Amino acid sequence: MRALVQRVTQARVEVAGETIGACGPGLMIMVCAMQGDTEAAAEALALKIHKLRIFRDAAGKMNLALKDTSGTALVVSQFTLAADTRSGNRPGFSTAAPPAEGERLYLHFAEALRAQGVQVETGRFGAEMAVHLVNDGPVTIWLDTTA
């Protein structure tokens, strides 16, 4: 699985002008299930993000994890993280999991993060969404379970 993790002061996602999920301060997590991904990969990614030390401690160093800050998370499915841009000018997405599998693993990831004690809100799989966020730092981290 792939994730783009952003430390945020606030974030929200809207569908048709209605806010369906929000968080902050905490993490905005865009997630993409790739072909061949498993529930174990979703769980490993959730655990990694839960322990990722990207929040400031009292000395201003990135030394705290989401688990240490009581931060919240907004998880949004983002199949375009699978973009293959090696050839031509139009990205290919053939490495993304098929939609039904992608949705299942996206929801499993969100539940695995909740199981770590994180308050999690989500976007709506397959919907046209407007994502609003205030990146804190800015801090943006790319994670890939196959790397």
- The number of helices, as runs of H, and strands, as runs of E, in the chain is 3, 8
Pick the catalytic residue: 9, 19, 38, 80? 80
Which residue spans within 33-147 are E strands per DSSP?
Answer: 53-56, 62-65, 72-77, 119-122, 130-144
On the question of a cis peptide bond just before residue 91, with omega within 30 degrees of 0, the verdict is: no
Please give the radius of gyration of the chain, using alpha carbons only, rounded to the nearest integer. 15
Catalytic residue among 6, 55, 72, 79: 79
Q: SS3 of 100, please?
A: helix
80 is catalytic: yes
Q: Please confirm, yes or no, whether 85 is among the known catalytic residues.
A: no
User: What CA–CA distance (Å, rounded) separates 130 from 40?
Assistant: 30
Residues labelled as active-site residues? 78-80
